[in-house]
């Protein structure tokens, strides 16, 4: 089917050199993960879709950023002038190489070198996007259109204004990355399953959604953020009883989109 699901933040293969360089314990590092999201969407291939999941952790290299969103303060040597050092993600400490984990704690004991960034982009970021681009292009070439679902999880403190976090946030870059009918269909399906759904607030979509979502070119992208509290304990990262329900509902979403995505995209 013309479906590609992406999980760029669920990797948990922590290299020994990373653990040696960090000032944090492994549990603190892992709280930056979108824990178990690749498991929640594991049945996507059973319904004809492609699932691509990073094995490297987000704190090591973030595939949902531009390749070169880097903070000069993290490096001992000067960065090339073409590096994007001014993005809001870099300012927040969450560039391609993160300075902090999601709780705001600094990751590294000392400074990195630019060659560290070059290595991670070459060995992690680039292969991930090569695979994702191939899958998107193959779906569009075969079916005439592609729907990309970028899969994430969000913490209990996702809303900075202390509003309750919804169950699911759908992001379409404020209408730029996906046809309205597709977003309405995903929203309606999840609402019928009993989820409180919000659109584009507080997450409208990251690099993957913005970069690949080109409705005029028949590629539609939607970011899906699932509240972690629905399926896991955010303190010790253990699965909660709700895990099975969320996994079943996301499998049902994949099955629904397998049946409807083609007509929704081509109708637009």
- Quick check: 31 and 105 in contact, CB under 8 A? no
Name 170's bridge partners. 199, 224
Q: What predicted TM-score, i.e. pTM, was given to this entire model? A: 0.95
Domains annotated on the chain, with CATH: 3-267 (3.40.630.40)
Name 171's bridge partners. 223
What is the rounded distance in angstroms from the CA atom of residue 102 to the CA atom of residue 225?
Answer: 15
What is the rounded distance in angstroms from the CA atom of residue 94 to the CA atom of residue 80?
Answer: 19
Tokens of 124: 């992690």
Alpha carbons within 13 angstroms on the beta-carbon side of residue 183 total 27
- Quick check: 219 and 213 in contact, CB under 8 A? yes
Q: pLDDT truncated to tens, each residue of the chain (268 aa)?
A: 999 999 999 999 999 999 999 999 999 999 899 999 999 999 999 999 999 999 999 999 999 999 999 999 999 999 999 999 999 999 999 999 999 998 889 999 999 999 999 999 999 999 999 999 999 999 999 999 999 999 999 998 766 667 778 999 999 999 999 999 999 999 999 999 999 999 999 999 999 999 999 999 999 999 999 999 999 999 999 999 999 999 999 999 999 999 887 677 665 5
Name 75's bridge partners. 112
């Amino acid at each position: 089917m013309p479906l590609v699901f992406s999980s760029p933040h669920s990797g948990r293969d922590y290299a020994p050199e990373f653990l040696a360089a960090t000032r944090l314990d492994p549990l603190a590092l892992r709280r930056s993960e979108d824990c178990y999201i690749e498991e929640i969407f594991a049945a996507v291939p059973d319904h004809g879709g492609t699932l691509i999941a990073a094995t490297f952790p987000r704190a090591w290299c973030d595939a949902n950023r531009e390749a070169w969103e880097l903070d000069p303060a993290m490096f001992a040597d000067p960065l090339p002038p073409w590096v994007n050092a001014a993005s809001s993600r870099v300012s927040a400490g969450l560039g391609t190489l993160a300075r902090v984990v999601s709780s705001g704690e600094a990751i590294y004991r000392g400074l990195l070198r630019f060659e560290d960034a070059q290595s991670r982009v070459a060995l992690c970021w680039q292969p991930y996007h090569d695979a994702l681009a191939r899958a998107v292009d193959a779906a569009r070439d075969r079916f005439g259109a592609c729907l990309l679902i970028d899969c994430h999880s969000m913490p209990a403190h996702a809303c900075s204004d202390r509003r309750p976090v919804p169950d699911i946030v759908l992001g379409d870059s404020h209408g730029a990355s996906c046809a309205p009918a597709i977003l309405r269909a995903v929203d309606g399906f999840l609402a019928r399953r009993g989820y409180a759904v919000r659109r584009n607030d507080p997450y409208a979509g990251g690099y993957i959604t913005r970069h690949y979502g080109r409705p005029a070119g028949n590629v539609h992208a939607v970011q899906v953020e699932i509240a972690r509290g629905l399926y896991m304990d955010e303190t010790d990262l253990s699965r909660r009883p709700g895990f099975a329900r969320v996994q079943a509902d996301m499998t049902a979403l994949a099955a629904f989109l397998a049946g409807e995505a083609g007509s929704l995209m081509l109708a637009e």
